Structure 1
Amino acid sequence: MSIIRKRLTPEESRLAALDAARALLIEDGPQAVTLKAVAARIGRTHANLLHHFGSAAGLQKALIEMMANAITAKIAAAALKARDSDQDPREVVDLTFDAFDKEGAAQLASWMILSGNQDALNPILEAIHRLVNELSVELDEGARTGRPIHEETLQLVLMALGDALLGAPMARALGLPREKARDLACSALLAERREPV
């Protein structure tokens, strides 16, 4: 019996590869995101993926870019909702922490950098930069109280990145609940809103 594979457009093939790469990242970690593994997952050839991405590093960079754009879009919506309704910023904190931890962005970025791919963070940094610029305009940065959004973002992203990489063992070592870093990030954002610069 022969298997008939559906013919995909180049864009569909690329998106299928990125979806498979994301699933591998979440399931098995960044070292699992290889051209061979992704090709096997989607029933394509190694050569097909080379055509789309050029190399494993190209696949990983495209993956990080796709993830960064999707994640920052969710964070932007949550941030605008929180500001418009003067709500607790917990949704923004959770989305940011989840992006780095559960979505695997911290592990992938760290692994790529440690593997010598120094431009690995560019897609994440560019997406965050676009997000902050968008939020600065949308939230009328001049009318805000507290620290500038650029500083809030720096603090939140660094806390989320650190928590994704070391949060669980540090919380255990200090006898703190696993969610403590998220609580601290949320408290910091709330405190900054109450205090004028």
Structure 2
Amino acid sequence: MSIRKRLSPEESRTAALEAARALLIETGPQSVTLKAVAGRIGRTHANLLHHFGSASGLQKALAKDLASSICAKIADAVIASRSGIGTPRDVVDLTFDAFDKEGAGALASWMLLSGNEDALDPIVDAIHDLVVELNEFGSEHLRDSTLALTLMALGDALLGGPLSASLELPRTAARDRAEAMLLGSIDQAGTLAPEG
């Protein structure tokens, strides 16, 4: 007879999101189901249904969790870059890795294709909040750069490998282009920043 450790509702939810994130990275978004996550953490389908309401609720919670943690890392990288500790390439790599290696691109695409119309809300909201937090001068350049960088990272996660290969470009071509764009935007914004 196995005895399961009793978890608080928050601990159960956190364990479920960690398991869902691992499944996403290991086997893709189609594997992020209530049954698979429940099996991974030794809980019942009903237990997860109670916490998330449905598989799409679980996926939306996962998207929110991913977006929050990724945007926090990106914010730290932007702040480090501004203080001369990090580089714009760090920001590019974190953004591209979030959509590719951490599965955010595949998850967002899967949710949209599954008919979850508000699937991208947590990701869009987290990116909006990040821009508001970092946009000390109200710069349109930061909003434009964020839009372009996010779309480039999403596209690269979904099609970057085969497309760069077919165009006989290095696999890092999109990241290299995003870095050049970001550096150009930083230079342009620097010339437009209000004088203090």
Question: What TM-score range do you get, normalising by the shorter chain?
Answer: over 0.9
Residue in 2 that maps onto 1:157: 150
Please say if residues 88 and 190 of structure 1, whose CA atoms lie closer than 8 Å, have aligned partners that are also in contact.
Answer: no
Residue in 2 aligned with 1:187? Answer: 180
Residues in 1 aligned to 2:179 and 2:82: alpha-carbon distance in whole angstroms: 14
Q: Which runs of 5+ in 1 are unaligned?
A: none
Q: 1:172 aligns with which of 146, 161, 165?
A: 165
User: What code does the residue aligned with 2:187 have?
Assistant: R
Q: What is the aligned-residue RMSD (CA, Å)?
A: 1.3
Same amino acid, percent of matched pairs? 64
Q: State the one-letter code of the partner of 1:45.
A: T
**What aligned pairs does 1:38-53 form with structure 2 within 5 A after superposition?**
38-53=37-52
Shift in Å, 1:141: 4.2
Q: Which residue among 122, 141, 166 is the counterpart of 1:148?
A: 141
Give the distance between the partners of 1:52 and 1:118, measured in 2 at CA: 20
Letter in 2 for 1:40: G
2:98 maps to which residue? 99
Relative to structure 1, the CA distance from residue 176 to residue 43 in structure 2 (aligned partners, 3 Å threshold; closer, same or farther) is same
Aligned amino acid, residue 181 of structure 2: A
Once the two structures are superposed, residues 42-99 of structure 1 have per-residue CA deviations (whole angstroms, 9 ceiling, x without a partner) of: 0000000000000000000000000000000000010011012185300000000000
Measured in 1, the distance between the counterparts of 2:41 and 2:22 equals: 11
In structure 2, what is the Cα distance between the partners aligned to 1:71 and 1:148?
Answer: 21
Partner in structure 2 of residue 54 of structure 1: 53
Question: What is residue 112 of structure 1 aligned with on the other side?
Answer: 111
Give the aligned partner of residue 5 of structure 2.
Answer: 6
CA pair 169-36 structure 1, distance change in 2 beyond 3 A: same
User: How many correspondences in the alignment?
Assistant: 190
Given that 1:100 and 1:160 are in contact with CA atoms closer than 8 Å, whether structure 2 keeps it comes out as yes
SS at match of 2:74: helix
Name the aligned partner's letter for residue 182 of structure 1: R
Q: Which runs of 4+ in 1 moved over 3 A?
A: none
2: CA distance, partners of 1:186 / 1:70: 22
Instruction: Give the structure 1 partner of residue 14 of structure 2.
Output: 15
> Secondary structure in 2 aligned to 1:148?
helix
- Aligned counterparts of 2:184 and 2:32: Cα–Cα separation in 1: 40
C-alpha contact (below 8 Å) 2:93/2:175 kept by paired residues: yes
SS in 2 for 1:118: coil
CA contact (8 A) 2:24 2:31 kept: yes
Query: Structure 2 counterpart of 1:150, which letter?
Result: R
